Chain A
Amino acid sequence: DQQVKQNSPSLSVQEGRISILNCDYTNSMFDYFLWYKKYPAEGPTFLISISSIKDKNEDGRFTVFLNKSAKHLSLHIVPSQPGDSAVYFCAATGSGTSYGKLTFGQGTILTVHP
């Protein structure tokens, strides 16, 4: 049972435009969400997170939006840069998870063209 889903395997955008990566979840116990960026042959790098008490969190070019009623979150990258090309994973966890377990989506490959 896939509790965190990233339904778009890939996304291609032009440099300078907005990239929007989407993520859906099914477990209503999740209340903390994270986005990671991963280059091939490297470990994931933490980008940004959001708690369920918020609907938006911003950090530089990265903004994460959370729609709890729809169980949906999205990562916006503005403006997109070629160096942003990577695999993006969303992950979720809940306060009821005693060991901080993260459940990951399958990832979305973002390609930013110069």
Chain B
Amino acid sequence: EADIYQTPRYLVIGTGKKITLECSQTMGHDKMYWYQQDPGMELHLIHYSYGVNSTEKGDLSSESTVSRIRTEHFPLTLESARPSHTSQYLCASSEYGGGGTDTQYFGPGTRLTVL
């Protein structure tokens, strides 16, 4: 069982508010990821990190930002939430499996609704 946590699980917020979605893992994994998923759609990578002080944009453009100051913590921030940001946000982590065989373990997700 993977130990990766996300808070809050659900968030309903008004347009223009600043929000931070928290993600923590206790497995000591170097790699962490943020995905966005809309209902009935595939997961899209929006941010990833190789380790402390390393962050990169994923395949799907996102107005959110991330930081990685500690190995176990990978928060995602939206400076000004909009209705188009309504989605489920999933955090994952992995350790290097060698030869590209990383297995990612996911947190429970945050369901964000922006009114």
Name A residues whose Cβ lies closer than 8 Å to a Cβ of B. Answer: 4, 9, 31-32, 34, 36, 41-46, 49, 51, 89, 93-97, 99-102, 104-107
Residue in chain A with minimal CB distance to B59: A101
Judge whether B42 and A105 touch: CB under 8 Å: yes
- State the Cβ distance, B68 to closest chain A Cβ, in Å: 13
Residue in chain A with minimal CB distance to B58: A101
Binding site of B, secondary structure by majority: helix, strand, loop or mixed?
A: loop
Residue in chain A with minimal CB distance to B100: A95
Judge whether A44 and B103 touch: CB under 8 Å: no
The yes or no answer to B82 lying at the interface (CB within 8 A) is no
Contacts of A43 in B (CB 8 A): 4, 6, 90-92, 106-109
Judge whether B99 and A99 touch: CB under 8 Å: no
- Looking at A4, A9, A44, the one whose CB has the most chain B CB atoms below 10 A away is A44
